[in-house]
Amino acid sequence: MKLKSIIVCGLILLGVGAATTSCEDMFTAENSLVTTDLAPKDTLYQVMGIVKRMQKLADRTVLLGEVRADLVEVDPLHASVDIQELAANAVSNNNVYNKPADYYAVINNCNIYLAYVDTMRNAQGTRKYFEKEVCAVKCYRAWCYLELLKNYGAVPFVTEPIEDSDKAESIVASGNKADMKTILDFCINDLQKYPYMDENNELRQKYGSTASYAGFRYDEIAIPVRALLAELYLWRGSYTDSQQDYVNAVRMYHDYFTFPSEELNTGDNGNRWQDRDFNRQPSNSYTSYFSSNTRLNAGILPLDTTVYFGTVTDLRAVFNSQYSNKYYPSVLPSQRVKDISKAQDYCMYIYEDNRADTIYGPHDGNYYDEKIMEGDLRLNTVYETSSNFRESQYNSDVSPMRYEIKKYSGERDRNSDARLAYIPFYRNNILYLHMAEALNRAGFPETAFAVLKYGLSYYTLTDRDIISQDEFDRLCDIKSYGFTIQDAKYSEDEELSSKTNGSFIIWDSGVFGTKDKSTSGGLGQIPVLGGTRVNVGIHSLGSGDTEYNKYYYLDDSATLAEMESKYPYPAEPVYEELPELDETSTAEDSLAYQAVVDANAEADSLYNEAVQNTDALRLAYKASDPVRATRQAHVAQLILEEEALEGMFEGVRFYDIMRYQMQDKKGGQNIGTTITLPAYIEEKYGATPTMTGKPWYLTLPAR
User: 109-134: per-residue pLDDT in tens?
Assistant: 999 999 888 665 665 555 666 788 88
Residues 299 and 386 in one domain: yes
Least Cα distance to 288 among 266, 265, 271 occurs for 271
Residues 136 and 196 in one domain: yes
Amino acid of residue 511: V
pLDDT > 70: percent of the chain: 79
Task: Using the predicted structure, report yes or no on whether residue 98 has a pLDDT greater than 80.
Answer: yes
pLDDT at 199: 53
pLDDT at 215: 57
Residues 119 and 196 in one domain: yes
pLDDT at 684: 56
Mean pLDDT of 185-211: 68
| Average pLDDT over the chain, rounded to an integer | 82
Task: Using the predicted structure, report yes or no on whether residue 12 has a pLDDT greater than 50.
Answer: no
pLDDT tens digits along 562-606: 888 889 999 999 888 888 888 888 888 888 889 999 999 999 999
Inside any domain, residue 437: no
The pLDDT-based confidence of 703 (bands split at 50, 70, 90) is very low
Inside any domain, residue 234: yes
Amino acid of residue 453: K
Evaluate whether 468 touches 241 at the Cβ level (below 8 Å): no
Residues 111 and 186 in one domain: yes
Note down the domain range covering 593.
557-623
Residues 72 and 194 in one domain: yes
Predicted TM-score (pTM) of the model is 0.88
The pLDDT-based confidence of 30 (bands split at 50, 70, 90) is very low
Mean pLDDT of 455-483: 93
Least Cα distance to 458 among 423, 417, 500 occurs for 500
Q: How many domains does the chain have?
A: 3
DSSP 123-148: EETTEETTHHHHHHHHHHHHHHHHHH
The pLDDT-based confidence of 202 (bands split at 50, 70, 90) is very low
DSSP 547-576: GG-TTS-SS-HHHHHHHHHHSPPPPPP-PP
Inside any domain, residue 188: yes
pLDDT at 390: 81
The CATH number of the domain where 138 resides is what?
1.25.40
pLDDT tens digits along 438-465: 999 999 999 999 999 999 999 999 999 9
pLDDT tens digits along 654-668: 999 889 888 865 543
Amino acid of residue 437: E
pLDDT tens digits along 291-307: 555 578 898 898 887 66
Final residue of a domain: which of 191, 221, 242? 242
pLDDT at 294: 58
Inside any domain, residue 69: yes
Mean pLDDT of 18-31: 47
Residues 150 and 201 in one domain: yes
Evaluate whether 171 touches 23 at the Cβ level (below 8 Å): yes
